[in-house]
Amino acid sequence: MFDSLWKNLTAATMSAGNADFGIINNAAIGIKDRKIAFIGSIDALPGAPEKLSEYVYDGEGRTATPGFIDCHTHLVYAGDRAAEFEQRLLGASYEDIARAGGGIAATVRATRAAPEDKLFRLAVDRLRALFFEGVTAIEIKSGYGLDLETERKILTVATRLRDEADFRVQRTFLGAHALPPEFKDNADGFITLVCEMMKTLAAEGLIDAVDAFCENIAFTLPQTQRVFDAAKELGLPVKLHAEQLTNMGGAKLAAANKALSADHLEYIDEDGVKAMAQAGMTAVLLPGAFYYLREKTLPPIDLFRRHKVPMALATDHNPGTSPTLSPLLMLNMACTLFRLTPEEAMAGMTRNAARALGWMDCGVLEKGKNADIVLWDVPHPRNLCYGFGHNPCYGAVMGGDWHPADHE
């Protein structure tokens, strides 16, 4: 009846509307054709487990959750920015470094110079680290090329990760990430190039979604709208880096364009939150960048709660402002820095992260959803938010196939 069956689990379904993480005690999960075909109490199975599948696995009381979805990353790049980390400790701001030719521009130089195969090897190592902390699906942005050749190279690496590593990947074109040196005094001209690149790369089948960085050190509202207009013409969903350093009104612009999400959002005001709520958007919170940049202005969590804007969490893995590969640390930071509850944090890394990517077939443990399941050596899902510096991941069922954790 099932391709495989897991028993003796504490299953945290993370289904919307269910209290206490949607926990099912003494649970069984039956998998068929890479989907969840049964989830419930083992007593509700239509027969003895051994008669329902040739492959029966004993979870030995472990906690099962949906696979984590890292819905905002910049995973493909070369180089590091450790020197800038030191500069900030000596007093330089993120804006100071960016305006002096560092920041994103430094990573662009390193990434342009790196061969595709090197970028792929670096990205595989990062993806492995995320996988062994429970990530089974990921979004990967471009934006460290800022020319056609390198943007294509980054998105090709993301495609190889999807195809060769058999990993679910959303490939997001972030051509409007920063001004390259060749367009230093011509932002509008660069946006024209971004729209041309988008059309070319979409025709090559390399783009699933489009993002932009709307900020005082990046692109204006009218420039961002041009990017969104080009994406609409191609039928591509949009999202936006918004209100990270200032309140530019980017979240309202994203809402007007029916964006999937707005991300960062430390400086968003209530009008922006209301606009997101009315547009059905998701707020993607990035505590790693908040911590790393030593920001003081918190995203308005109570406003998101009051207006029922779903909150997702992600690592924002990147070399300059969030060089972390630990979704477990992000869960803890979301609770300690942003004061999310453990259940809100877990929803942020599962069902709301799926929502932020427009994915409706994952993020919860429910019949008919993808069989992406992580087993943890913890007694309750809240423990995943409680501790840090230790990885309790026992392994993951991904697309129905079992992958034991490798902590060596």
CATH class for domain 4-67+364-404? mainly beta
What local confidence, expressed as pLDDT, does residue 141 receive? 98
Instruction: Domain 68-356: give its CATH architecture.
Output: Alpha-Beta Barrel (3.20)
Using one digit for the tens of pLDDT, what is the confidence trace for 13-42? Answer: 999 988 899 999 999 999 999 999 999 999
CA distances from 101 to 94, 107, 300, 370 (A): 11, 10, 32, 44
Q: What is the spatial distance between Cα 84 and Cα 242, in angstroms, rounded to a whole number?
A: 23
pTM of the model: 0.97
Tell me the sheet residues that pair with 403.
Answer: 396
Q: Which residues of the chain have pLDDT under 50?
A: 408
pLDDT tens figures, 78-109? 999 999 899 989 998 877 887 787 888 899 99
Distance between CA 321 and CA 318 in Å, rounded?
A: 6
Q: What is the predicted pLDDT for the residue at 104? A: 85
In the chain, ranges of CATH 2.30.40.10 domains:
4-67+364-404
Place of tokens 């074109």: 173
C-alpha–C-alpha distance, residues 145 and 6, integer Å: 44
Q: Return the pLDDT at 407.
A: 54
Which residues lie below 8 Å from residue 192, measured CB to CB, with a gap of 6+?
A: none
Q: How many CB atoms lie within 10 A of CB 168?
A: 22
What is the structure's pLDDT at 400? Answer: 85
Residues of the chain with CATH 3.20.20.140: 68-356
Helices 327-336 and 342-349 cross at an angle (nearest 10°) of 140
